[in-house]
Structure 1
Amino acid sequence: MIDFYRKYRAVGNWINLLLLGSVMLPLLALSYYNHPSPVDDYCYIDTVFKYGWLEAMNYYYTGWTGRYFGILLNHSNPLLFHWIEGFKVLPVVLLAGTVGALYWLARQLTPTLSRWAHAGFAGVIFFLYLLKIPSVAEAYYWMAAFVTYTVPTLLTLCWIVVVLRWYRLETSLMRWLTALFAGFLLFATIGSSETNLLVIMLLLAGWCGYRVLFQRRWDAFMLGMVVVAVFSCYLFFSAPGNEARLGGNPLSGNVVASALSSFRKLIVLSIEWITRTPLLLFSVVWLLVLSRMAPQARTYFAVPPLYVLLLYVGVLSAQLFPSYYGIGIEPTLRVINCVYFFFLVGWFYLVGVVFHYLAQKRTFAFPPLLYVGVCVVLALLVALSFYRSPQVRMLYTDWLRGGAAAFDREMYARYALIKQTEASEVYLPAIQHRPPSLFVGDIEKSESHWWNKCTAGYFGKQTIHLLEKPTTE
Structure 2
Amino acid sequence: MAQTRSDSLKTAALLFLVVLIAPFIVNCFFAYPQTDDFMFSVASRDSGFLKAQYDTYINWSGRFTSTALLSINPLVYGSLTGYRTVFAVVIAAQIASLYLLAGALTRDVLSRRERVLIALALFFAFLDQMNDVRSGLYWMAGVVTYGVAQAMMALWLSLVLLLHQDRHRNTTHLQGGVLLLSLLLGGTNEIALVLTVFGATLFLWFRYRATGRVGLFHVGTLVAALTGGSLAALAPGNFARMSGQYHVQRDLAVVAWDALQASLASMAVWVTTPLALMLMAAVFFAVTGRPRLRAALSGVTVPSALLILFLVMFTSFLVPYWATGSYPQNRVLNMIYFCFLAGWLILVAIIAAGAGEAVVGSIRNVCSRRWGLLTAGLAALFSIQSSNAVMVSRDLASGLSYRYSKEMEQKQSQLTQDPCDVCTVRDVVNRPASLYFTFLNPDPRHWANRGYAAYFRKSNVLLATDQAGRPLQ
TM-score, with normalisation over the residues of structure 2? 0.92
Q: How does 1:273-352 map to 2 (within 5 A)?
A: 273-295=270-292, 298-352=295-349
Task: Note closer, same or farther for the CA distance 1:12–1:217 as it changes in structure 2 (3 Å cut).
Answer: farther
| Shift of residue 15, structure 1, vs aligned partner | 4.9
Secondary structure of the equivalent of 1:149?
helix
Taking the aligned partners of 1:470 and 1:400, their CA distance within structure 2 comes to 28
**Which runs of structure 2 are paired with 1:53-72 in the superposition (5 Å)?**
53-72=49-68
Cα distance in 1 for residues equivalent to 2:328 and 2:291: 42
Question: What are the Cα deviations for residues 299-358 of structure 1, in whole angstroms up to 9, with x where unaligned?
Answer: 344112212111111111212222211111211111111111111111111112223333
1:246–1:252 contact (8 Å) kept in structure 2: no
Contact 2:109–2:293 under 8 Å retained in 1: no
The residue type equivalent to 1:379 in the other structure is A
Separation (CA, whole Å) in 2 of partners of 1:355 and 1:377: 22
Q: CA deviation at 1:68?
A: 0.8
Q: CA deviation at 1:421?
A: 0.9
Instruction: Tell me if 1:140 matches 2:137.
Output: yes
Ranked by relative contact order (alpha carbons within 8 Å, sequence separation 6 or more), the top structure is: 1
Q: 2:203 pairs with 184, 204, 207, which one? A: 207
Residue type at the aligned position of 1:455? Y
Q: Which moved more, 1:281-290 or 1:11-20?
A: 11-20
CA displacement, residues 131-185 of structure 1 (integer Å, 9 cap, x when unaligned): 311111111110101111111111000001111222456569x711111111121
User: For residues 11 and 19 of structure 2, what CA distance do their matches in structure 1 show?
Assistant: 12
Provide the residue aligned with 1:186 in structure 2.
182
Which residue of structure 2 lines up, in the alignment, with residue 87 of structure 1? 83
Check the 8 A contact 1:259/1:321 in 2, yes or no.
yes
* 1:105-184 aligned within 5 A: 105-110=101-106, 111-167=108-164, 175-184=171-180
Q: Which moved more, 1:306-315 or 1:375-384?
A: 375-384
- Once the two structures are TM-superposed, the CA of residue 64 in structure 1 deviates from its matched residue by 1.5
**Deviation for aligned residue 1:467:** 0.7
CA contact (8 A) 1:16 1:123 kept: no
1:195 aligns with 2:199: no
**Alignment deviations for residues 365-407 of structure 1 (CA, whole Å, 9 cap, x no partner):** 3657734135313431343145333422211111111111111
What are the superposed Cα offsets for residues 29-73 of structure 1, whole Å, 9 maximum, x if unpaired? 211211211x21111122223432211111111111111111111
Moved more, 214-223 or 334-343: 214-223
Structure-2 separation of matches of 1:341 and 1:374: 29
Q: 1:372/1:60 Cα in 2 relative to 1: closer, same or farther (>3 Å)?
A: same
SS at match of 2:287: helix
AA aligned to 2:26 is: A
Are 1:20 and 1:126, in contact at CA under 8 Å, matched by a contact in 2?
no
Tell me the residue number matched to 2:461: 464
How many residue pairs match? The answer is 466
Find the aligned partners of 1:278 and 1:331 in 2 and give their Cα distance. Answer: 23
Q: Following the alignment from structure 1 to structure 2, what is the Cα–Cα distance between the partners of residues 13 and 195?
A: 35
Residue-by-residue CA offset, 1:250-290 (whole Å, 9 max, x unaligned):
33453222221112112222222222323234322222211
Pairing partner for 1:452 from 433, 436, 449: 449
Determine the C-alpha separation between the residues in 1 that align with 2:294 and 2:353: 10
Whether the 8 Å contact between 2:100 and 2:158 is mirrored in structure 1 is yes
8 Å contact 1:282–1:378 — kept in the other structure? no
In structure 2, how many angstroms separate the alpha carbons of the residues matched to 1:260 and 1:15?
46
Show CA shifts across 1:74-100 (max 9, x none): 111111111111122011111111211
Q: Is the 8 A contact 2:93 2:151 kept in 1?
A: yes
CA-atom RMSD in angstroms? 2.4
Any idea what SS the aligned residue of 2:171 has? helix
Change (3 A) 1:347 1:145: same
Pick the aligned partner of 2:436 from 396, 415, 439: 439
How far, CA to CA, are the matches of 2:368 and 2:109 in structure 1?
Answer: 21
Quick check: 1:250 aligned with 2:247? yes
Kindly tell me: are residues 126 and 374 of structure 1, through their superposed partners in 2, closer, same or farther at Cα, counting changes over 3 Å? farther
Residue 31 of structure 1 aligns with which residue?
A: 28
8 Å contact from structure 1 (residues 245, 327) kept in 2: no
Inter-CA distance 112–409: structure 2 relative to 1 (3 Å threshold): same
Amino acid at match of 2:55: Y
The 8 Å contact of residues 103 and 122 in structure 1, kept in 2 or not, is answered as: yes
Map 1:381-396 onto structure 2 (within 5 A).
381-396=378-393
Q: Greater CA deviation, 463-472 or 450-459?
A: 463-472
- Check if 1:44 corresponds to 2:44: no
